[in-house]
Structure 1
Amino acid sequence: MEKNKSESMGLKLRPVLVSFLALTLICGVVYPVIVTSIAQIAFPNQANGSIITITQENGTTIDVGSALIGQTFTKPQYLIGRPPGTSQLSPVSEEQKALIQERVAWWQALDPENGGNIPSDLVTASGSGVDPNISPEAAEYQVERIAQARNISAEVVREIIARYTTGKLLGIWGTEAVNVLKVNLALDGWMQ
């Protein structure tokens, strides 16, 4: 009786173990290898993190960042992106209002001559906290300050910003966006 019971248990466990091993192999090995291979062939730049590499005067190359991850710039000669950190506060909470007031004061101290309305994306963090882009309005708000700090014309700054502004997907979805890192690299002469 005991022998039949253990044989019966073995017969019941075998399909479970075979299913477990098969699904582990399919979902844990085969599928990731196929998806990674397709990504590397079809979208190698994006699959490897959209890394921006620059070549220095001595011929060496360095990775300066990802086009998909925001970097913090705070100096007047640079295009400044969204505030770092995630925004999981209610838009009407007192804490959010205090943060926005603090950021508005920072912008006014950085650029006291600019009397324009500060675009909302310059004083509110994105959901991810690492958004690499700002709106064209936020970039335009900063043009005069950048031009003055670099002693170049505002038109040159606008041309660089336009070069790194992407439109809506298929002209329908999303919004126009300016990549902050690419603009700043171009302002420094690293990108054309």
Structure 2
Amino acid sequence: MKNFLISIKLTLILIVICAGLYPLLVAGVGKMARGGGKGETVTVNGRVVGYANVGQKFTEDKYFWGRPSAVDYNAAGSAGSNKGPSNPDYLKTVQDRIDTFLVHNPGARKEDIPSEMVTASGSGLDPDISPASAYVQVKRVATVRRLSEERLRSLVDAHIEKPLLGMFGPSKVNVLKLNVALDELK
């Protein structure tokens, strides 16, 4: 009986800690984060156009494209393709993405395409691309928008986010923020 009462007490204490205090702590930290725990929204003229921490689908040539998504950017169903690098279906999908990229980016060569532009991530919701992925698209976007490539390179440079504390993670470009700034160019 003594062990039974101890196990009941321990269970109740762990329920309070794990199901009560810990979730409150996490919610409190989230409220202090940018966006108050609801994500970082991007607004244009007072209207929310998307979330900076979730990938968006851009397919028009006048915009920079993000990383492909295995779930078509559906945040409710975040997932990767679960196909290995030797899977014939996966290899065909990657080759199709390469072909599509080359058609839409004349002058680009296959070896110029960063792998992230033709492979989906584990989540399917990556909001960022590498600076190299943005630079390889500059010519296409500049041509469609009738802007100079130098001006677009400067815009990309201005939107490069450096690694945290200069050493944690890679440099990256948020595609939604870059495209919003692109639309604001005169």
- The AA in structure 1 aligned to 2:130 is S
Identity across matched positions, percent:
35
Any unmatched runs of 5+ in structure 1? 1-7
**Under a length normalisation based on structure 2, what TM-score does the superposition of the two structures give?**
0.84
What CA deviation, in whole Å up to 9, does each residue of 1:43-78 have, x standing for no partner? 243732122223x2xxxx222211111111000000
> Bigger relative contact order, structure 1 or 2, given CA contacts below 8 A and separation 6+?
2
1:17 aligns with 2:8: yes
**Quick one: distance in 2 between partners of 1:120 and 1:127?**
14
SS at match of 1:48: coil
SS of equivalent residue, structure 1 residue 124: coil
- Please give the alpha-carbon distance, in whole angstroms, between the structure 2 residues aligned to 1:88 and 1:82: 16
Task: Give the counterpart of 2:62 among 77, 100, 103.
Answer: 77
Taking a change above 3 Å as real, the CA distance of residues 45 and 129 of structure 1, as seen in their structure-2 partners, is same
Give 2:102's aligned residue: 108
4+ residue runs of structure 1 moved beyond 4 angstroms?
Answer: none
**SS of 1:45 mapped into structure 2:** coil
Pairs within 5 Å for 1:106-185: 106-111=100-105, 113-116=106-109, 117-185=112-180
Compute the displacement of 1:12 (Å). 5.0
Distance 1:102 1:187 in 2: 27
Q: Work out whether residues 69 and 125 of structure 2, in 8 Å CA contact, stay in contact via their aligned partners in 1.
A: yes
> Which residue does the alignment assign to 2:73?
none
Question: Please, what is the CA RMSD of the aligned residues?
Answer: 2.0
Name which one, 1 or 2, has greater alpha-carbon Rg.
1
Count of residues paired in the alignment: 174
Displacement of 1:128 in angstroms is 1.2
TM norm structure 1: 0.81
